[in-house]
Amino acid sequence: MNENVKQSSGHLYIRRILCYAVLVIFTVLCLFPFYILFVNASRSHVEIQLGFSMIPGTSFIRNWSNVVQSQTIHIFRGLLNSVIIAGLSALLSVYFSALTAYAIHAYDFRFKNAIFNFILIIMTIPTQISALGFVDLMTSMGLKETFIPLIVPSIAAPVVFFFMKQYMESSLPLEIVEAARIDGSSEFHTFNMVVMPIMKPALAVQAIFSFVTSWNNYFTPALILTKAENKTLPLWIAYLRSADFTKFDLGQLYMMIFIAIFPVLIVYILLSKFIVQGVAMGSVKG
């Protein structure tokens, strides 16, 4: 009996070691691109052209100074513009998508399935198809060179809505909503104070995705924003990448990408705890 217990515990110990080894390998693979980005940001243009290197260079401070003190690239203004656009887009996208999903999930009304299917059809239409008409509309409304065309349309986010709807079907019992109504809670109060806390893991996931999508968006801002003071970081990175060959600096380019990564990491760190809490609650519930 004791030998069987020892044998099973030995197998369990080996499996645990293998699991940790696999996790370490995947962690290294995930973090490796960030390390290479840091290495290239610390190397000069000539050193990067010589080829791949695992050893950081000595030009980090110089590349930083070239980016910060550049007369043609407004790095901090671009960073601020990107934070404003991506932050507000993620906030509006997550809140109103959750509100729409709640309406579809919690209410029974005519054409409910038709509206749901219509939203799913909209989800399959690429942004590029309506880009020309969108730009013409924003120009006629006098909204070009403003952030409004990049923020307000994020309210209608079919992908985020679909994720929220699926999450509500699995994690939001309608009995809780009915109990809140019986207690005299208004519909908006129920949504904000009862439904939203339950939805924290889904909200955190979609907030990260929405922020990253808006942060990395180049296509739409390139059509709307042309003035230097309005440009976002992706536009400045593209501008530097397309610079004249005699003025092109790979070290400066990698430094700008290195700077652009930090806000995304901060958002993930701040919201990841809600994802972990949701997974823990789900495992306990199960």
71 and 31, same domain (yes or no): no
115 and 151, same domain (yes or no): yes
pTM of the predicted structure, to 2 decimals:
0.84
Query: For every residue of the chain, which 3-state class applies, written as one string?
Result: CHHHHHHHHHHHHHHHHHHHHHHHHHHHHHHHHHHHHHHHHCCCHHHHHHCCCCCCCCCHHHHHHHHHCCCCCCHHHHHHHHHHHHHHHHHHHHHHHHHHHHHHHHCCCCCHHHHHHHHHHHHCCCHHHHHHHHHHHHHHCCCCCCCHHHHHHHHCCHHHHHHHHHHHHHHCCHHHHHHHHHCCCCHHHHHHHHHHHHCHHHHHHHHHHHHHHHHHCCHHHHHHCCCHHHCCHHHHHHHHHCCCCCCCCHHHHHHHHHHHHHHHHHHHHHHHHHHHHHHHHHHHHC
50 and 75, same domain (yes or no): no
Last residue of a domain, one of 59, 76, 103: 59
The pLDDT score that the predictor gives to residue 283 is 40
75 and 205, same domain (yes or no): yes
The pLDDT score that the predictor gives to residue 281 is 47
Packing angle, helices 112-123 and 75-106, rounded to 10: 150
The pLDDT score that the predictor gives to residue 286 is 43
Q: Please count the structural domains in the chain.
A: 2
51 and 101, same domain (yes or no): no
162 and 189, same domain (yes or no): yes
39 and 169, same domain (yes or no): no
The pLDDT score that the predictor gives to residue 202 is 87
CA distance linking residue 77 with residue 233, whole number of Å: 9
205 and 193, same domain (yes or no): yes
CA distance linking residue 185 with residue 194, whole number of Å: 10
Residue 105 belongs to a domain with what CATH number? 1.10.3720.10
Each residue's pLDDT expressed in tens, for the chain with a length of 286 residues: 555 656 666 677 788 888 899 999 998 998 898 899 999 999 988 888 888 888 888 889 999 998 888 888 888 899 999 999 999 999 999 999 999 999 998 888 888 889 888 988 888 888 778 888 888 999 999 999 999 999 999 998 899 999 999 888 888 888 888 888 888 888 888 999 989 988 888 898 889 889 999 999 998 999 999 898 899 999 998 888 776 555 678 888 899 999 888 888 888 888 877 766 655 444 434 4
Last residue of a domain, one of 37, 59, 81: 59
Task: Give the tokens for residue 218.
Answer: 């180049």
Last residue of a domain, one of 59, 80, 101: 59
112 and 159, same domain (yes or no): yes
207 and 70, same domain (yes or no): yes
CB of 78 within 8 A of CB of 238? Answer: no
Q: Which domain holds residue 166?
A: 63-285
